[in-house]
Amino acid sequence: MTGITTVSPSAIVCGRKTNLYFALASNVTLTTSSTLAAVFSTSTIASAAAESISISPPETAWEVINFMGNDSSSFQNKVLEEKPVGTASLTATLVLYTEDDFLEPFLDTTGVTAASTYTRYQIGNEQSPEVSILASIYNGTKTCNVCLDDARITKWGEVRIGAVDGRWEQDIAAICLDSDFWWEYQTS
């Protein structure tokens, strides 16, 4: 990947392909002695090529509280009140070049054996595990790692043939709390 396009102060969009790394949140322990990439190198269960990745950091909302009267400059008396910080989110299109078995551990923790050689999963039965997702973005010189830890996958989109080469694609979306969002830049 050769570039990052910033679309607003609150989001980055990776237009080219990059990899997303998935791990069960219970297997990820973030420390300051290791980079996010190093932590995921030992805990990743699956990785997937992805296109159209959009990462939105948590945003802080503000509300204007109006009071009676005017200030010394003839403006209405008012203050800004900070609201709780929102969630971080990630959306992406996964590129499925081979079997999509890498999704299995994240669909449902209670897969049922069927016909002795298949495992059957259900989405939406409240058995989906918390996951940690890492997007590692390299611009040719330095790396930016973005992690959604203890995240919930909120969308398993349609699986479709998305390109002339016959590959399968699937849209996903995930959210995490502001306290579980990490943005790490390589400084040297």
User: Per residue in 21-74, pLDDT tens?
Assistant: 888 888 898 988 889 988 888 887 778 888 888 999 999 889 999 999 999 999
Coil, strand, or helix at residue 49? strand
Burial string for 126-163 (b: 16+ CB within 10 Å, else e) reads: eebebbbbbbbbeeeeeebbbbbbebbbeebeeeeebe
What pTM was estimated for this model as a whole? Answer: 0.77
Nearest to 45 by CA among 25, 75, 68, 70: 25
| Tally of domains in the chain | 1
Q: Is residue 69 part of a domain?
A: no
**pLDDT tens digits for range 56-69:** 999 988 999 999 99
Coil, strand, or helix at residue 15? coil
The answer to whether 171 touches 95, Cβ cutoff 8 Å, is no
Which structural domain range is residue 136 located in? 5-58+78-185
